Amino acid sequence: MMTLDSCIEKFMKSKNLWNPNELKIPKKYEKHGDLILFPIDSFSHKNWVTAGDELWNLICKEYQVTKIAR
């Protein structure tokens, strides 16, 4: 079974958006019901934004939530 980090990295590589020197997958978060709250500086690099809805849907699925916030 893949970890969330591995899933996100694999997804980003498939889109040619992975850069391990610039993209950091947050290790800290809070989960409140169907919301996951990441630190304000998480997912701010342009490559995360370019990945768009597919990335957010992957994160929602893996964390079993319907909403993501920073």
| pLDDT tens, the chain, 70 aa long | 567 788 899 999 999 999 999 999 998 999 999 999 999 999 999 999 999 999 999 999 988 999 999 9
Q: What single-letter amino acid sits at 22?
A: E
Which of 22, 35, 46 is CA-nearest to residue 70? 35
- The β-bridge relationship of strands 30-32 and 35-37 is antiparallel
Both tokens of 3, joined, read 């970890």
- Which two structure tokens, joined as six digits, stand for 43? 């997912």
Q: Supply φ then ψ for residue 32, to 5 degrees.
A: -125, 100
Look up residue 20 and give its amino acid. Answer: P
Q: What is the pTM of this model?
A: 0.84
